[in-house]
Amino acid sequence: MTTKQYNEAVEILADGLYRFAAKKCNDRNLAKDIVQDAFAKLWVTKDNVDNQKVKSYLFTSVNRLVIDYWRKSRRLTDMESINHNPTATNQEYSNLNEILHKELKKLPEMQRTVLLLRDYESFSYAEIGLITDLSEAQVKVYIYRGRKALKTRLEKLNIVA
């Protein structure tokens, strides 16, 4: 990978990486740091990275850096209980997008990750498998279960018929 290819990767992929990191860690400043760390890691290993695989390399790096952060801060133990707010379901909502993001945060880590990669970043099943170290079949199962869980939660809130 040349310096020019690296700079092009920064221009093209930085926004998508930031969105992905921000959705996973719920902290914009941390997401910026994680994306910057991923690009720094790419710069160090740019001679060993094939230009055709830069996108999956960076998304894999961001995914692993977020997981490392959660492990270091010991918040990974039970993400569902951290994000669960029982009083929130009784409030009236006016913004479907806000509700969807709130319910997405309640999903287990892996379901949330594969849904973000598939539905927000438009990765193929094979690319998601490379990023998350899962087989294509596992990716499809996690996506199916995540979407089903989201639909069930939205039905309980009387948002989806």
Percent of the chain, pLDDT > 90? 6
Same domain, 132 and 119: yes
Same domain, 117 and 59: no
25 close to 66: Cβ distance less than 8 angstroms: yes
**Cα 34 from Cα 20, distance rounded (Å):** 10
Same domain, 4 and 69: yes
* 64-85: pLDDT as tens digits: 888 788 777 764 444 445 454 4
State the average pLDDT for the chain. Answer: 79
Indicate the pTM of the whole model.
Answer: 0.56
Domain containing 37: what range? 1-74
Percent of the chain, pLDDT > 70? 83
Give the confidence band of 137 by pLDDT, cuts at 50, 70, 90.
very high
Q: How far is CA 56 from CA 50, 62, 80, 125, in A?
A: 11, 10, 27, 12
Same domain, 84 and 37: no
Structural domain count, the chain: 2
